[in-house]
Each structure stands twice: as structure tokens, then as C-alpha cells.
Chains A and B, each alone.
Chain A
């Protein structure tokens, strides 16, 4: 009897049980996704722990300001935050490790480090070339970012993705990428200007004006990398 009753209700039960199973799976997935992404959003300070970067004028200014605000020596402040940073980063990695395979497989990243500081020092990328050799030979400016008069390959070099890459080159920790990238840009220039002999990449360093510094020093060019046309 019981068997017969169960058989009679089977299609209805299967439908309900099936949909209920999916609902529980969705609820479990959502909970897992929330946990994984909450932990994934803990800021990754891995790159910030590179103390070579701390020597950069932009980072030094920030460290000076915080040390002054707290009222300690900069060296003491640096040591303290480095220790805290290392400890934090280890804890973060431990907490995140169970969720890392999921985040990695789904391509989920929750690192939202964007414009985390305003710095009075800024850099602008430029490219120039020489079509001759010798002391009297002048440089010819090909490209300066956001300069309509020097807009060689501006659609490419000014694209947000390329700009984002180039902006990183002004940091000492990206020196290798800068050298490699400049060589690639020089090759483009050699293609476009068959008589160009030398190409140079560089950054214009400028100090923004502000109420404290209404007349900042004039901009100067820094970090030049010179690439000669390869001999045929």
C-alpha cells in the first residue's frame, strides 16, 4: 500500500525535490562566493612591501607626512609599518588559501587599489628621435603624452591600457619593463622614420602647483633610455 502510494506521488515529489535541491545549491554557492570575495577584498600589500619603491620621491613624501602626523621619526615609522605589513600579508594569504582555487578559476579579483594617494610630483611620457649623428644634430620630439603638437602614434600610446602600462615605468621597480618597452617603441619609430638613427624615451617630471607652492619649479626630463637603430 505504502509502496503504491509512493509510486503514485513520485513525479510530483521528484519535481519538488529537484527544485529544492537546486535552491539549496544556489544558496550554498552564494554564501561561498560572498566569503571568498570578502576575503579576496582584503588589500594585497605585497607590492607595497618592496622597500626599494619607498625611496621614490612620491612614496617618501607620503611616509614623511604620516610620520609627522603621528609624531615619530620616519625610520621608526618605516620599520613599524614594514613589520605590520609583513604580518598582515601572511595572515591574508593564510585566510585566502582555501578560496584561492575558486577565485583563480573564476578570474575573480577584488583588488581595488586606485589612486590611493595624490602626489605633487607627476610624470609624463615622451619620445624623441635624431635623424643624424654628431653634436650639432638636434632631437626631434615625436610624442609627448597629451600634447597635440607631438602626437606620433598617439592613438596607440595614448590608449588607456598602454598609458596604464607606461605610467608604471616611472617607478624604479618597473625599470626592466621600461627598458624593454622603450626598445619596442623605438622599433616602431625606426619603422615609421626610416632615416631615424637614435630614439630616446624619457619622462617629464613636474611639480603641480598648489596654494602652498603657487609657482613650482619648471618641469625637467628624467629617466632617459636611448636606443640606437640596429645595424643592418
Chain B
């Protein structure tokens, strides 16, 4: 038991490249900054968060109750603080305090009108909480560049973010119990969802695309229910399992490139959601977790590939 605990402790606190965590931070905090900035600049925050006493759509003062309630001035200040802290965290300036302020102020914003929220709020808050405690400021940050605070990061935070990604997908998959989602049913969930005027970017779908949406419905369901397998596959990549069945599972998953295929499908799915539906910053909030799932090795390979492509372009131009 003691040995197991020590192995667990050593594995979690092992140091690795901080780049994946830093990328998660940039995407997550940047998303908060852009989303909240747009929310307040379009005037939508004034309508959605202002208390009914002042002519708004909200009927709770939330966290602003002790400071005089959800008035125009207080909610605009709150949104501005959140957007600025988010931008600062994305740049990596005073990273940990900036992340803490972003996390707290986003929670305060969501407390002002419990109806005016989306799943992206929960996902962003959950991610910010882990990032705030992590070493995510040790790369791609002004702190690292100007104040010499760069270096490796402990593995545990990336592990928790991968866990969050797996939990998001399985949590979403197991609530899709509708006969229109589950295999063996009509598989027409996406057909109808993509035509809901509240969320759809395009007014209607041509009838010929019905079978395409049926295939997409079933693939999405399997993909989401497979969330825990992604988590286990990534953990298995990082360890040398002693049990035979785990070693075999690891070999098989690696042989079929399970993690890469799963993440490529997920990225395509989120891009597809973004192109066909208007669901706020959900896709970006989910994609913010992808660098953690890719891990240092895959990100390094992608950077190297991008670098080689970049080198080829000037060469071909000079010819």
C-alpha cells in the first residue's frame, strides 16, 4: 500500500514540459476575456445581468448583493475585471493571481442570473480552478520571459485536465438517453438539433443530409461515451503497467493510435459544432483542454511538423 502510494505521489509530481498547460491557459483565459468582453460591449450583459429592480432580466443580485446589488455600474465593473484578468492570465502576466481573479469574477457573473448561462461556464470555471493551482505560467508567459519564472511543470495538473475532458464527454454521453440518440433508436437527434432556430446557424437542412446526420449522431454518442477510455489511454501512455492485461491494452491502444484519432475526431466535432451552431464559447472551452490531452510529446511533434512546413514554404518561394 505504502509503495503504491509512493508511486502515485512520484508519478503525479514528476516534472514535464509546461507547454501543454500553458496552451490550456492561453485558450481558456483568452476565451473568457473575449466572451465576457463581447458580452459587456454588445450591451447584452446590461440586459441579462441587471436586476429587475433596475429594469433588467435578472431576479437575483447574486454575489453583488453585499456591494449594493446588480446595478449597471457594478455589473459592468465586474465584467471588465473578468475580461482584463482573463487577458492578463492569457498573456501570463501575474499568472496565478490573474487566474484567481478570472475564476472568481466569472463565478460572480454566473451568480447574477442563473438562467443566463451555458455549460461553457461550468467548463471554464472547472478548468480555471485547476489552472490556478498549477504551474501553467511557467511557459508561454510574460512571467517566464520577463521575471525568469519559467521551467517545467508538475504532471498532476495536466492529469486533472485530461480527467476533466474525459468527464465532460462521458457526462454528456450518459445524459443522451433519448431514443433519438442511443444506438438502436431513430438516430435523428442531430437532424432536429441542427434545425432548432435558437441554436442553428442555418435555417434548414436538405432532406438528402438526413442519413449523414444519423451517422454523425451515432458516432457522436459513441465518441462521448468513450471519454473515460481516452483518459485511461493517456494515463497508460505515461506509465509502465505491471499487469499483463494492462500492458496488452496499452499496446493495442497505441497500435491503433487511439488517442490521436480520438482527439482528431473531437477537434473535427467541435469545429463542426462551431460552423453549424451558435452555442457560445463551448467549443473553445472544450478545445482548451486538448493541449493537456495531447501532452508534451505530441505537441512537440506538431510544433516540429509546423516548423518544417514553415521552412519549406520560403524554400519553395525562393525557387
Residues of chain A whose beta carbon lies under 8 Å from any beta carbon of chain B: 23-24, 26-27, 30-31, 33-34, 37-38, 41, 43, 62, 65-66, 69, 106-120, 122-125, 145-146, 153, 155-157, 159-168, 174, 177, 180-181, 184-185, 187-188, 204, 206, 208-211, 214
Interface size on B, residues (CB 8 A): 74
Within the assembled complex, what's the spacing in Å between the Cα atoms of A185 and B55?
9
Q: Is the CB of A23 within 8 A of B9?
A: yes
Q: Is the CB of A165 within 8 A of B12?
A: no
Contacts of B189 in A (CB 8 A): 115, 117-118
Contact mask for chain B residues 85-124; partner A; CB cutoff 8 A; 1 contact, 0 none: 0000000000000000001000100000101111100100
Partner of A160, one of B113, B118, B190: B118
Q: Is the CB of B192 within 8 A of A111?
A: no
Q: Is the CB of B47 within 8 A of A188?
A: yes
Within the assembled complex, what's the spacing in Å between the Cα atoms of A185 and B52?
11
Q: Is the CB of A159 within 8 A of B39?
A: yes
Smallest CB gap from B168: residue in A? A112
Residues of chain B whose beta carbon lies under 8 Å from any beta carbon of chain A: 5, 8-10, 12-13, 38-39, 42-44, 46-48, 52, 55-57, 59, 103, 107, 113, 115-119, 122, 125-126, 129, 154, 156, 159-160, 163-164, 167-168, 170-172, 174-181, 185-186, 188-193, 195-200, 203-204, 207, 210, 217, 278-282
Q: Is the CB of A110 within 8 A of B122?
A: yes
Contacts of B163 in A (CB 8 A): 34, 37
Q: Is the CB of B47 within 8 A of A116?
A: no
Known: A117-B181, A184-B52, A206-B197. A164 touches B118 (CB 8 A): yes
Q: Is the CB of A214 within 8 A of B181?
A: no
- Cβ-closest 7 pairs across A and B: A160-B280, A118-B192, A118-B189, A112-B171, A159-B44, A117-B178, A65-B179
Separation in Å of the A99 CB from the closest CB of chain B? 14
